[in-house]
């Protein structure tokens, strides 16, 4: 800003000047929504919910069916089968996947393999699958780009475990936000020479909890 002061004379002038400046901040904000994808299916190729392959269970249309092979089971070999679950989460502190043996319809209260009158033993600590010894269990392996890992007795590729108490048990976890993790559940069961005949079933409930 310039200031002009004019005196009585026609040519006597006094010029002065003053500079002025100011500053103002602009704050830009945006929210990132909390998001998580969690899928359980017989087979998952991409963890976006669009590539699941589900085998309907004729006895429970809401559940996926895993049939162990060989079937019928024999005392000379271990019957096995697989299913999968996947997780993607932007949770700052990762996620935890738990499972509980849920019971099946009127079988509630009988965990593991149950045929209405007989229940397979379920090892709660990791053990080796042994043909001829009646037992059922599973373990978990991880694939994909994420940082989640299988945990506890289920993390071994050669040992099997099964918590049949109905208490939630941690299967896998991640400590930070992660891209797609695909986990494979490897089921294993053996029969003895005295295992009663019949169709045995077990049902599990899986829960994924994000930690924001």
Give the 3-state secondary structure of the chain: CEEEEECCCCCCEEEEECCCCCCCCCCCCCCCCCCEEEEEECEECCCCCCCEECCEECCEEEEECCCCECCCCCCCCCEEEEEEEEEEECCCCCEEEEEEECCCHHHCCCCCCECCCCECCCCCCCECCCCCCCEEEEEEEEEECCCCEECHHHHCCCCEECCCCCCCEEEEEECCCEEEEEEEEEEEEECCCCCCCCCCECCEEEEEEECC
Q: Is the overall model pTM greater than 0.85, yes or no?
A: no
What residue ranges do the domains of the chain occupy? 34-210
Mean pLDDT by 10 residues, the chain (212 residues): 51 66 91 88 78 59 75 96 91 92 56 81 88 94 87 92 84 91 93 94 89 83
């Amino acid at each position: 800003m310039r200031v002009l002061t004019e005196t009585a004379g026609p040519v006597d002038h006094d010029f002065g000047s003053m500079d002025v400046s100011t500053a103002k901040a602009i704050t830009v904000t945006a929210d990132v929504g909390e998001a998580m994808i969690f899928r359980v299916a017989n087979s998952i190729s991409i963890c976006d919910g669009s590539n699941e392959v589900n085998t309907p269970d004729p006895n429970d249309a809401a559940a996926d069916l895993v049939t162990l092979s060989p079937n019928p089971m024999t005392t000379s070999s271990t019957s096995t089968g697989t299913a999968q679950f996947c997780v993607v989460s932007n949770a700052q502190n990762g996620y935890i996947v738990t499972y509980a043996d849920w019971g099946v319809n009127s079988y509630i209260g009988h965990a593991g393999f149950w045929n209405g009158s007989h229940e397979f033993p379920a090892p709660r600590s990791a053990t080796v699958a042994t043909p001829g010894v009646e037992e059922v269990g599973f373990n978990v392996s991880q694939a994909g780009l994420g940082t989640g890992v299988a945990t506890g007795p289920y993390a071994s590729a050669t040992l099997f475990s099964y918590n049949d108490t109905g208490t939630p048990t941690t299967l896998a976890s991640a400590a930070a936000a992660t891209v797609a993790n695909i986990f494979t559940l490897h089921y294993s069961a053996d029969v003895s020479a005295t295992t009663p005949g019949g169709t045995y079933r077990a049902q599990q409930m899986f829960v994924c909890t994000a930690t924001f």
